[in-house]
Amino acid sequence: MRLHTSTWPEIETYLERCKGIIIPIGSTEQHGPTGLVGCDAICAEEIAWEGGRRGDFLVAPTFNVGSAQHHMSFPGTMTLRPSTMTSVISDWALSLAAHGFTHIYFINGHGGNIAPVHTAFAEIYARRALDGDQSDFIMKLQNWFDLPGIPELTEELYPVGAGSHATAAEISVTFAAYPEKEDRRVLDPKVAPEGSITDKNRYRLDFPDGRIGSDPSQSNGADGQKLIDVAATAMVGDVAAFFNS
Ligand code: NI
């Protein structure tokens, strides 16, 4: 069940049986020459939608522009400042809390979002504490690529060139979602260089085509379906436990 394609009476009815909601959170940033700019948001929403369907959970709109300053040397990337992102996450969460949602589960597709989302959680909890709010309200951030079974499946599918940006796994998930975009060109170098991230200028010098450590010529829609299936199964169990906590 998706918030965007529900009516308000349907949301009211949902709230009578469940006070939890899933928010997919991603980014709009380059993912190498063959990866989609929306990759991180697409991965999060595909897994959220599949898990939401299986578990009959409500899924909010995708938070699809995140913290991605380091990718700004590549066309199409969009970023929020960490402070902006913290404010916007807070307003999303407090809007839902105002309607009676007590448990918000963020399923995340982008490492750069982790710090600002945790800062947002601290802001929200502090605001509620200072307002003397006694009602129950908790949030959780879960990276889809850390869900039980996903690191193991990734290692099995891609023993070489799994990578840490424009990963073989995340690009497979996008090819499952958008088969017409499947592009298995071998890039040069086949496996991208490894390294650490600082600012956008140095990023493009260190990682000229945008990838870090990955060989996405291995990526394909069939692998993507396997990854979505394992991630959705794990997520449903994790969400159910969280919503009942
Ligand atoms: Ni990504």
Distances (CA, A) of 42 to 74, 94, 195: 19, 24, 25
- Sign of the C-alpha dihedral, residues 141, 143, 144, 148? negative
Q: What per-residue confidence (pLDDT) applies to 63? A: 98
How many angstroms is it from 48 CA to the middle of ligand 1?
Answer: 16
Q: How confident is the model at residue 28 (pLDDT cuts 50, 70, 90)?
A: very high
Range of the domain at 31: 3-243
Q: Give me the number of domains the chain comprises.
A: 1
How many angstroms is it from 127 CA to the middle of ligand 1?
Answer: 31
Contact 227, 150 (CB under 8 A): yes
Six token digits for residue 93:
């969460």
Q: What per-residue confidence (pLDDT) applies to 25? A: 98
Name the average pLDDT for the chain.
Answer: 97
pTM > 0.85: yes
Q: Which amino acid is at 196?
A: S
Identify which of 106, 43, 38 has the alpha carbon closest to the alpha carbon of residue 76. Answer: 38
CATH number at residue 178: 3.40.50.10310
Q: How confident is the model at residue 66 (pLDDT cuts 50, 70, 90)?
A: very high
Cβ count near 75 (within 10 Å): 7
How many angstroms is it from 62 CA to the middle of ligand 1?
Answer: 15
